[in-house]
Amino acid sequence: MNANWDDLRIFLTLAREGTLTTAAKSLGVSHPTVARRVAALEQQIGARLFERLPDRFVPTSAGEALLEDTEAMENAALSIHRRSAGLSDTVSGVVRLSAGEEISALLASHLPELRARLTQIEFELSARHTLLNLSRREADLQISERTPDMADIVARKLARTAYAIYAHPSIAVARLSPSAFKSVPWVGFDDDHTRMPGQRWLQERLDGGRPAIRSNNWLVVRETARAAGGYAILPCYLGDADPQLQRVGNPIADVFADQWLLVHRDLRALPRVRAVMDAVIDLFQRERPLMEGRMAGAGNRERRS
């Protein structure tokens, strides 16, 4: 009589992915299973839904005709998924927080106190920069410098983070004159990541030149600078807290980033998500001076205490 609803889920994934192997991976099943279940659906529907090419599956016009409704099913299923978060244990459970690696490092350094505060909550911290799809619950919370223009995502500003130049004390000077920029070695981001804060600013001062050492990761940039590999523009909360780094000059007025805490509206009132949000917001409030670059030498001070 009726098609198996779950076979429609598999149909949709295959239509999106285009190959059995990627769809199978995405669905967490084997590729013959995907093929078999799509074949079963085709038999149920009575029409061929895919052309089978040697290297991929292409939806037929019949398959295309079913996509819109299948996507509607998916949206409803996702809504169920989000609602289900509110149906389980209200105070305990997993909360997944995602942030760039530089914010993840900051949070990681505060994990003991976060864990002490969030006693019943399993706290997953994952480091990545790309904006996750919170509607699909790829994460419950995300800290990001960008806000998506999705109606269901709520953004709460955490801080405006300042950036400054840092170097190992063995090579650091108190201040860099404009003419000296090109005569010191630099560590920075590669060409694919010039959108990271400060990279464009540095390029202008190097007259379009690039750092001698390039990476795609803030923590790698920081490690290189700590090893006296060169001067680097870093977020103050990374540089000022590090005893192996010395600030060079003041925070750069033109280089900053806003950090936003993102949550899906459906999850916002969930007690355990609320608890993690509050803990993160409090942490950023307490660390505001460090965020804004008002704690130069904080790394050295901590070592003395």
Give contact residues for its own copies (rule: CB under 8 A): 1-9, 28, 45-47, 62, 65-66, 69-70, 72-73, 75-77, 79-81, 83-84, 86-89, 93
Nearer to its own copies, 79 or 285 (CB): 79
Q: Could you tell me which residues come within 8 angstroms of residue 245 by beta carbon, excluding any fewer than 6 positions away? A: 166, 167, 168, 169, 222, 225, 226, 234, 239, 299
CB of 38 to DNA, least distance (A): 8
- Pick what 32 binds: DNA, its own copies, none; C-beta below 5 to 8 Å, kind-dependent: DNA
CB of 79 to DNA, least distance (A): 24
Nearer to DNA, 36 or 193 (CB): 36
Question: What is the 3-class SS of 154-171, one letter each residue?
Answer: EEEEEEEEEEEEEECCCC
Which spans of this chain sit near DNA (rule: CB under 7 A)? 19-22, 28-33, 35-37, 40, 52-57
CB of 5 to DNA, least distance (A): 12
Strands (DSSP E) found in the chain: 50-52, 57-59, 93-99, 121-127, 141-144, 153-167, 186-189, 213-215, 231-235, 246-248, 256-264
Nearer to its own copies, 86 or 297 (CB): 86
Token digits of residue 304: 């003395």
Nearer to its own copies, 257 or 276 (CB): 276
- Pick what 253 binds: its own copies, DNA, none; C-beta below 5 to 8 Å, kind-dependent: none
Nearer to its own copies, 81 or 301 (CB): 81
- The region that residue 207 occupies, defined by phi over 0 for left and psi between -120 and 50 for alpha, beta otherwise, is left
Nearer to its own copies, 98 or 215 (CB): 98
CB of 86 to DNA, least distance (A): 25
- Pick what 72 binds: DNA, its own copies, none; C-beta below 5 to 8 Å, kind-dependent: its own copies
- Pick what 70 binds: its own copies, DNA, none; C-beta below 5 to 8 Å, kind-dependent: its own copies
Count each helix (H run) and each strand (E run) in the chain, helices first. 13, 11
Nearer to its own copies, 248 or 273 (CB): 273
Q: Could you tell me which residues come within 8 angstroms of residue 228 by beta carbon, excluding any fewer than 6 positions away? A: 167, 168, 170, 171
CB of 53 to its own copies, least distance (A): 21
Rounded Cα gap, residues 238 and 287, in angstroms: 12
- Pick what 35 binds: DNA, its own copies, none; C-beta below 5 to 8 Å, kind-dependent: DNA
- Pick what 76 binds: its own copies, DNA, none; C-beta below 5 to 8 Å, kind-dependent: its own copies
- Pick what 266 binds: its own copies, DNA, none; C-beta below 5 to 8 Å, kind-dependent: none
Work out the angle at residue 257's Cα, subtended by the Cα atoms of residues 253 and 263, and round it to the nearest 5 degrees.
160
> Is residue 55 packed enough to be buried (19+ CB in 10 Å), middle (13-18) or exposed (0-12)?
exposed
CB of 15 to DNA, least distance (A): 12
CB of 62 to DNA, least distance (A): 16
CB of 53 to DNA, least distance (A): 7
What phi, psi does 142 have (nearest 5°)? Answer: -140, 140
- Pick what 2 binds: its own copies, DNA, none; C-beta below 5 to 8 Å, kind-dependent: its own copies
Q: Are 241 and 294 within 8 A, CB to CB?
A: no
Q: Could you tell me which residues come within 8 angstroms of residue 296 by beta carbon, excluding any fewer than 6 positions away? A: 164, 236, 240, 247
